[in-house]
Amino acid sequence: MDHTENVFEDRRFLNKNGYHSIASISATINRDNSKNAYTLYECGLSISDCNRIIYLDIDSDDGMDIDNSLYKLTNIIEVCQNMKDFLESKKEEVVQWCKDKEEAEKLKNKEKKNENRN
């Protein structure tokens, strides 16, 4: 008889519609209700893109493990937020870079056409 109960699950695709990869994030917490359970909650976090998957065990064996797991999750959240903030601050620069690159390519193609005519 299975004594494991899923008590938390959050799954999301990481890309907007129209992007080709199946990047996703999944967090699950299962409660082990058996009398001889090693841990009350089995917690995991999985993050994947089209080529790689990472899986993190989020320990909850005792109070110290939970404190460390909360510390681990806080650090993951903070690093992701810092990266997001940085990329948001560079969005205009990236858009301008793309426009400049496109213009340079058009100019290069125009010069190539002129060379071929001569």
- Which residues lie below 8 Å from residue 59, measured CB to CB, with a gap of 6+? 39, 43, 65, 66, 68, 69
Reported as a single tens digit per residue, the pLDDT across 77-107 is 999 999 999 999 999 999 999 999 999 898 8
The pLDDT, as a whole number, for residue 63 is 83
* pTM for this prediction: 0.79
**H or E element, residue 74:** helix 63-89
